[in-house]
Chains A and B, each alone.
Chain A
Amino acid sequence: MGFDAGTYLEALGHRGPAAPTLETLRFLHHRHLRTFPYDSALNAGRGTALWAGVDIDPDTAFDEIVVGGRGGVCYELNGLFRLLLEELGFDVGVYGAGIRQMDGSFGPDLEHVFNHARVDGEPYLVDVGFVGPSYLEPLSVTAEVQRQHGSRFRVVPADGYHVVERSGRSGIWQAVYRFRDKPRDLAEWQDPSAELEAFARALAGSGILVRGRSSATGQRVLIGKRLLTVDDGHETVRVLTDPAEHERVVAEILGSPAAAATRTSAGSGR
C-alpha cells in the first residue's frame, strides 16, 4: 500500500487530530517504541554494508514494518517516523551518534541514525530506533535532569559532543550515546569512513542478534541470550539458556503488542 500517515497513526493508536505539539510528539514517540520492535536480524543478512540502506524506500519499509509487522533497525524506524513527523508539520532533521560500547568507549560518530525536532523553538532528541535502554519520550537537549518512567536522563557536553546519559534506580549515570550538534545528510553514510567500515565488519561478524521493545514503563532488550528488563527504572538481567524460553521471549518482543501482552501474563504464572 505504501507510506500512509493515516494508517501509521492508526497503528500507533492515535485518535483525532495530530497537531505538531510536544504533547503529540510525546505520545507518538512512546507509542512508536511500544508498537514497533527493534530487530537487528535484518543487518545479519547484509554483511558489512550496514549503512547501504540508510536512505530508506519509505513505501517498502512502511509495508514491511508498519503493515507487515517485522522489526526494524535504527534508520528504518527513525526514517519512517521522521517522514510521519514531517507530514504532521514538525520541524525535524537527522543526527548521527556513537553508542557507548561495553568497555565504556564510544562507537564511531555515524554508527547510529536518529532524529531531532524543534518544538516551540526548543530542540528535542527523537529516537524510536534504538534498542535501549534509553528515553521513551523525546528528550530536551539540556544538562538538567529529566525524569521518565523511573529513569533519569540528561544531555551533558563533553569533548565537543553532547552525551546522552541515563540513570536507573541504582543511581549510577551511564552514557547512552554521544552526538555532535550537527544536522546530518543521509548522503554522508553512502561513503562510510574506514572506522565505520571496520566497526560494521566486527558487528556483522559477531552474529549476535539484538532485539528489543518498549513497554508502558520500560524496555526489554535481548542481546544474544541476555535479557535486560527495565521497568520503572528497575533493571533486571536474566540469561535465557533454555532455548524454549528464549524462543518465547523473542516471539514476545517481535510479535504484535497485543499478543505479547497475553503471552507475558500467561508466562508470569509459571
Chain B
Amino acid sequence: MTDDKVVRALRAALVDNERLREENDRLRRTAAADPVAVVAAACRLPGGIASPEDLWDLVSEGREGLSPFPRDRGWDLDALFTDDPGRPGTSYVRQGGFLHDAGAFDAALFGISPREALAMDPQQRLMLEITWEALERAGIAPTALRGERVGVVTGVMYHDYAAALAEVPDDLEGLLGTGTSGSVVSGRVSYTFGFEGPALTVDTACSSSLVAVHLAARALRDGECRLALAGGVAVMARPSPFVEFSRQRGLAPDGRCKAFADAADGTGWAEGAAVLLLERLSDARRNGHPVLALVRGSAVNQDGASNGLTAPNGPSQQRVIRAALDAAGLAPGDVDAVEGHGTGTPLGDPIEAQALLAAYGRDRPAGRPLWLGSLKSNIGHAQAAAGAAGIIKVIEALRHRTLPATLHVDAPSANVDWDAGAVRLLTEPRDWPDPGRPRRAGVSSFGVSGTNAHVIIEEAPVGTDEAPPPDAGPAPRPWEISGATADALRAQAARVASHVRERPALNAADVAASLASGRAALAHRAVVVAAERDEALAGLRAVAAGEPAPATVTGVADVEGRTVLVFPGQGTQWAGMGIELAAQSDVFAAALADVEAALEPYVDWSLSEELRGSLERVDVVQPASFAVNVALARLWESFGVVPDAVVGHSQGEIAAAHVAGALPLEDAARVVALRSQAIARGLAGRGGMASVALPEDRVAARLAPGLEIAAVNGPASVVVAGDAAALADLIESWEDEGVRVRRIPVDYASHTSHVEAIRDELHDLLDGLAPKPSQVPFFSTVEGRWLDTTRLDAAYWYRNLRGTVRFDAAARALLDDGFRSFVEVSAHPVLAAEIKDAAGRTAAAVTGTLRRGEGGLRTFLLSAAALRVRGGGVDWSPLLAGRPRVDLPTYAFQHRHYWLESAPAAPARPASSPPEEPEEAPSLLDGFEGLDEEGRRNALLDLVRTEASAVLGRPPAETLAPTDVFFEVGYVSLTAVELRNRLSAATGLELPPMLIFDRATPAELADHLLAELAATAPAETAPAKTAED
C-alpha cells in the first residue's frame, strides 16, 4: 500500500468515526428526550407466581419456587431419575422451577377450538393470556388495539411440544404445524389481538427475552410501533434439558441456583413466561397509562470467537454493559444494583462477577457499592423468560424501594477477586434509599450461543399528575363487568368483589371508572348500580352467585341493531316525577329548565311547582309529561344513546317531533300547551277512556254506539274511548266476564269523533307552524309509516288527536326494519311490554327510563344498564370521566387443561386425549340440568358461539355474535357439517347436516337445541330397550 492510499484510508476512517459519533449522539439525544416506559407487566413463574405482585411476595419473603417434576406431561418419571450422572437418558436432579399450570388455557376467550388448543404449544397459549393481562393492567381494553401498530417481540427457545409424539392424532394433523412453530408464538399474539406492528420471535437462548426488550425498545424509538409487547417464554415439554445437562454435569444436584456463591454447583432449570408492555414515555403520559419504570438504555452484543462456543466471555460482557451505559448516557456510578444472570455455575458466575467488577465496580462514590443478586436463586433459571422476569423483579424493587436478598449464598465465590471493585452480594434485603437521582438497576442475560444483553431500568419519573379530583360523593354509578362465558362473568364478579373488599381505601367512583374503561366488553355482561362500596359489593356477590338483585342487571350482548326512542302518550305521569333526577343530573335539570322557559308564554302555572303537585288537569299533565320526556331524551343522549329513529304514541309524537329535530322547542311547547288547553275547554267532562286486554276485533264486536277504538297498542291491548255512560257499561260487563280492563283517569275521549268539536279551534291555534325536515326519521303512529316531518303542521296535530293510534303496527314495522333497541322515554313505562310482545323471540332490547316512585339517577342507570348488557352502546363517561385509574383484578380465565401426550404403551388408545371427554375436562354444558330455562338457553348459546367461532378459527374479538348469520360470516357446506358434528357430540342430539340452513344464527340455533333437548329429555328417562325385547 502506498503512503497515499494509507492517508486516504485513514481519512476515510476518521470521517466514518465522526459520522458514527454524530449518529451515536443523535440516538442518545432521542433516547433521553423520549425514553421508553414500561406501562404494564404480566408473568407466570415457578412457585405459583401469576403476577408481578406474586413475584414480589416470593422474593421479598426470601422464598423459593422449586418443586418436583410435573406428573401431567406424560414423562416417564420412574425411568428418568438416577444419581449416576453418567447414565444416558436420565437426570440426577429431581426438582426444578416448573409451571405446573402450563397446560391450563381459556380457549373459549380466544376463540380457539379445544382441538386447536390441544395442538398449540403451551408457550403460545401462555403468551396469549399474559398479553391479555398486561393490556388490562395498563388500562387498555384487549380488544381495542385491532389494526393498531403494536409490536410483539417474544423470546422462545424450546420447540419440543408434540415433538416426541409416537404418532400424530388424525384430528390434529394440519394444526400441529402452526401449533408448534416458534414464529407463531409472537405471530399468534399479533393475530389474536389484531396487532399490526412487527412481530418477531427471538431465539438467543437464555438471553432471548432481554434481547426482545432491547429490540422492542428500538422499534418504539424508531416509530415502527406505538406500543410493544416484549418478553419471553420457556416451557419444557420434554425433560430433555435435564437429561442433556446431567450428562454435562452442569446441574446443581438440589436444583438450586446458588448465584455468585462459593457453594455454586451448577444451574437449575426453570420455566416461565413474562411480558412487558412498552410505550414511549410521552405517549404513555398522553394516553394516561401507568408508568412503572423506564427502559433507560440497552445493548446487545456477541462473544465472537471466544474460548468455546458455549463458554461465557468476560470482556464481551463488560462491553455490553458499557454499551448499555453509553446508550443511557450514564456512568457506572449512576446505577445502584444489577439483577445478574447468575446461573449458579462454578465457571460462569465468576466470569460474570469479574466483568461486573470491571464495568460497574470502579469509579463509584464512596460507600455506594453496586448491589448484586439474581432471581434465579429463588425460582431457578427460567431461560428464555429469565431476562424479562428479572426486569419485573427490578420494577417491583423500585416500587417497594427495597433490594431483596439473593438466596443460597454461603459466602461470595472464592473464585472472584471481590476487592477489584465495589460490588457486593445482596445476602440480606436492603432498603433502597433515594440516591439523589433516579434509582437504577441493570439486568443481564447471556445466551449459550454467545449473545449477551444488558438493560438499564430506571424508576418512573415523578408524575406531573394534576391534583386528584375531589372526592366523589355517594352518587349512584355503574360497575360494569363482563366475561366471554357465563361462568367467566360470575368468576370475574367474585374477583372484583374480593379485591375491593380487601381494599377499604378504594374509592367507589374510581373503581367504577376503571371498570368502565380499559376492559374488553365481552358477551356476558353485568352492571351493578351502586352509590357505595357495600352496595356494590352486595351486587357483585349476587352476580357471582348468578342471583338476581335489585341493583344488578345481567344479560347477554345479543342485540345488534338501531335504536328507537319511544315517546308514550298520557298515563306516565306521577306526582313528583323528575324532581329527584333534576337534583342529581345537571343535564336533566338544564333540559327541564329549557322546556319550562319554552312553555312559559303559553301557561299560567309553574312547571317546577306542578311537577310536585297532583298532576290532574289535562292542560298541566300533557305539557308536564312532554317536559319530562324531552329532558329525559337529552339525558339519554348525554349517555351516548342517540336515536336512529323516533316514534310517539298520541301526544308523545310532539316530544318525538321535537327530539327528531322537526319542531324547535318553542313550537313543540306551543303545540302541547295550546292543544291540551283546547282539550280542557272543549272535550273535558264529555267522555272517558279505558284500556282492555283483548284483541282489536273482539273489542270492535262489543262497541256500543258512542264508543270507538282510540288506540291499538298490541295484539291484545286496545284503548276504547267515547261517551262516558256507554264506556262505564262496557267496562262493567268486561269486569263481570273477568276481562282485564282499566279505566284511564281522564274525563275526555281523545282519538274519537269527540275531537271533531275542536277541529277548527286547533287549526287556528296552531296556524303558522313551520315544521322542518328532520335528521332523525319519524315513524308516524297516525299514518303507520315513515313521515316527512315537514308535514307535522296544524292539520297533522289535529289528526294526531283525532285518529286511532296504531302503535302495534308501528312497533312491528320498526322491528321489521331492523330496529332492535327500544328506549321508552318517560317517567313510567307504559309501552315497553307491548314492544317486548311484538319482538317475540327476536333479540331486541326494550327498556323504560324511570318508574313511578323511582325517579332518580339510580333508576335511569339501571335502565341504561339494561341496554348495555344486551350490547347497546352506552357511554358511562358523563359520570366517570376524570376519575383516576385504579388497579383491578385481571380477567378470570376459565381454564381447562390441554396437553398432548404420547401414548406408545397403549397404541389402541387415541394418542390425543380429547379435552371434550368429561373425565378430561368439564364440558361447556356441565351443570346444564340444574339450570332454569334462561340459564340453559345461555349455556347453549355459549356452546354454539364458541364452537361456531372455533370452526372458523376466529380470534376472540371476533367470536360470533348471537345474531350473526352463519352463511354470511364465512360458513360453507364443509364447515356447516363440522359445526353440526361438534354440536351433536356436545349435546348428544342427532342433528341434520343442513342444520344451519334453517337455524341461521347462533341465537336461532341455541333456541332449536333447547327445544330439541327438552323434547328428548323424557325419552332418556324411559327404560332402555334391550336387544332381547
Contacts and interface: CB of A to CB of B under 8 A. Distances in A.
Same complex for A and B? Answer yes
Interface of A: 101-104, 202-203, 205-208, 223-226, 237-239, 241-242, 244
Nearest to A102: B973
Contacts of A225: 997-998, 1000
Nearest to A225: B1000
Nearest to A242: B816
A224 B994 CA distance: 8
Nearest to B1001: A241
Contact of B994 (A104, A223, A237): A223
Q: Which of A203, A207, A226, A237 is most buried by chain B, counting CB atoms within 10 A of its CB?
A: A226
Interface string B722-760: 000000000000000000000000000000000000000
A102 B994 contact: yes
Contacts of B998: 206-208, 223-225
A226 B999 CA distance: 9
Contact of A103 (B965, B967, B977, B990): B977
Interface string B994-1017: 111111110010000000000000
Interface in B618-661: none
Given A208-B998, A241-B1000, A102 B965 contact: no
Given A103-B974, A207-B998, 18 more contacts: A102-B974, A102-B977, A102-B994, A103-B977, A103-B993, A205-B990, A208-B994, A224-B999, A224-B1000, A225-B998, A225-B1000, A226-B996, A226-B997, A226-B1000, A237-B967, A239-B965, A239-B968, A239-B1000
B245 interface: no
Contacts of A237: 967-968
Contact of A226 (B816, B967, B977): B967
20 contacts: A102-B976, A103-B973, A104-B974, A202-B990, A206-B994, A206-B995, A206-B998, A207-B998, A208-B997, A223-B997, A223-B998, A224-B996, A224-B998, A224-B1000, A225-B998, A225-B1000, A237-B967, A239-B966, A239-B967, A241-B1004
Interface string B975-994: 01100000000000010111
A224 B1005 CA distance: 13
A207 B1012 CA distance: 12
Contacts of B997: 208, 223-226
Contacts of A241: 965, 1000-1001, 1004
Nearest to B978: A103
A41 to B, nearest CB: 14
Interface of B: 816, 965-968, 973-974, 976-977, 990, 992-1001, 1004
Contacts of B976: 102
B994 A244 contact: no
A104 to B, nearest CB: 7
Given A104-B974, A239-B965, A241-B965, A206 B992 contact: yes
Contacts of A223: 994, 997-998
A241 B969 CA distance: 14
A208 B998 CA distance: 7
Contacts of B993: 101-103, 206
Nearest to B990: A205
A237 B1001 CA distance: 15
A8 B1000 CA distance: 38
A99 B996 CA distance: 19
A104 B965 CA distance: 23
Contacts of B995: 206, 208
Contacts of B816: 242, 244
A17 B350 CA distance: 107
B975 to A, nearest CB: 10
Q: Which of A205, A207, A223, A241 is most buried by chain B, counting CB atoms within 10 A of its CB?
A: A241
Contacts of B996: 224, 226
Contacts of B977: 102-103
Contacts of A103: 973-974, 977, 993
A203 B995 CA distance: 11
The 6 closest A-B pairs by CB, nearest first: A224-B998, A206-B992, A224-B997, A102-B973, A226-B997, A223-B997
A65 B595 CA distance: 67
Nearest to B965: A239
A223 B994 CA distance: 8
A238 B994 CA distance: 15
Contacts of B992: 202-203, 205-208
Nearest to A245: B816
Contacts of A207: 992, 998
A59 B897 CA distance: 66
A198 B967 CA distance: 28
A225 B995 CA distance: 10
Contacts of B967: 226, 237, 239
Contacts of A239: 965-968, 1000
Q: Which of A102, A205, A244 is most buried by chain B, counting CB atoms within 10 A of its CB?
A: A102
A226 B966 CA distance: 10
A81 B974 CA distance: 34
Nearest to A237: B967
A107 to B, nearest CB: 11
B810 to A, nearest CB: 16
A216 to B, nearest CB: 26
B951 to A, nearest CB: 13
A80 B682 CA distance: 74
B985 to A, nearest CB: 15
Contacts of A242: 816
A172 B996 CA distance: 23
Contacts of A238: 968
Contacts of B994: 102, 206, 208, 223-224
A47 to B, nearest CB: 15
B399 to A, nearest CB: 54
Nearest to B815: A242
A223 to B, nearest CB: 4
Contacts of B1000: 224-226, 239, 241
A153 B448 CA distance: 63
Contacts of B1001: 241
A101 B980 CA distance: 14
A207 to B, nearest CB: 8
A226 B967 CA distance: 8
A102 B991 CA distance: 14
A107 B934 CA distance: 39
A95 to B, nearest CB: 24
Contacts of B973: 102-103
Contacts of A102: 973-974, 976-977, 993-994
A170 to B, nearest CB: 12
Contacts of A205: 990, 992
A25 B696 CA distance: 56
A101 B998 CA distance: 16
A241 B973 CA distance: 18
A236 to B, nearest CB: 11
A54 to B, nearest CB: 23
A51 to B, nearest CB: 19
Nearest to B992: A206
A106 to B, nearest CB: 13
A241 B968 CA distance: 11
